[in-house]
Amino acid sequence: MAAKARAIEVLGAELIKVSGPRSAVTEAAVAAARDAYDAGHARDDAFLEGTKTIAYELFEEVGDQLRDVITPVGQGTVLIGMAMGFADLVASGRMERAPRLHGVQSDACAPLVRGASLGRPAPVVRQPSIADGIRIPEPTRAERSYNAVRYSGGRWIAVPTL
């Protein structure tokens, strides 16, 4: 583990605090998962089932008037989950058509935006940004993220961040 870690026990579980950026935490989790199960949202497809509920809640609030949904994208979990949820709503006859999904990334790190025309993330050098959760240079769910935006008729957008 490259990052400095400190273990503490909470309610019988060993928690390990990892110093450094979010990528250091991911690196530590992947290393630890070699001997265990990694329940991180970036690789566990069961997590997508939970993010589908975002689509259900949006539909409950807005109904069939929902035409566009804009969401930040790091690994792609929320975007893909929403696409799955809207697909369920259309398949069940509750919605006539799914809304367009628009994926947003910080211009400080926008591999999906920059690679959209190629259908694969473009290499990027992460710049400082307060949008740490979406500063993911190599998203694990890139292909499914591209599919979600493309099939919905949405687009990719880079926005300036601090």
Please determine, for residue 158, whether its predicted confidence score (pLDDT) is greater than 70: yes
| pLDDT, tens digit, 9 for 90 and up, residues 104-154 | 999 999 999 999 999 999 999 988 889 888 999 999 999 999 999 999 999
Q: Provide the pLDDT confidence category of residue 1 given band limits of 50, 70 and 90.
A: very low
User: Phi and psi at residue 56, in whole multiples of 5°?
Assistant: -65, -40
Provide the pairing of β-strand 100-106 with 156-159.
parallel
Helix (H, G, I), strand (E, B) or coil at 26: helix
Please state, in angstroms and rounded to a whole number, the distance separating the CA atoms of residues 14 and 4.
Answer: 16
Cβ atoms of 95 and 86 within 8 Å: the answer is yes
Look up the pTM and report it.
0.78
What mean pLDDT is predicted for residues 22-48? 79
The predicted structure's pLDDT at residue 108: 94
Please state, in angstroms and rounded to a whole number, the distance separating the CA atoms of residues 97 and 142.
Answer: 24
Task: Name the more confident of 150 and 12.
Answer: 150
Please determine, for residue 11, whether its predicted confidence score (pLDDT) is greater than 80: no
| pLDDT, tens digit, 9 for 90 and up, residues 58-117 | 999 999 899 999 999 999 999 999 999 999 999 999 999 999 999 999 999 999 999 999
- 21-35, 41-55, 59-73, 148-162, range with the lowest pLDDT: 21-35
The predicted structure's pLDDT at residue 138: 93
Cβ atoms of 114 and 73 within 8 Å: the answer is no
Establish how many alpha carbons lie within 13 A of residue 133's alpha carbon, considering only the half-sphere containing its beta carbon: 8
> What are the sequence ranges of the domains in the chain?
5-35, 46-159
**From the candidate CATH numbers 3.40.50.1100, 3.30.450.20, 1.10.3720.10, 1.10.150.570, the one assigned to the domain spanning 46-159:** 3.40.50.1100
The predicted structure's pLDDT at residue 41: 76
The predicted structure's pLDDT at residue 15: 76
- Tokens 């190629």 belong to which residue? 118
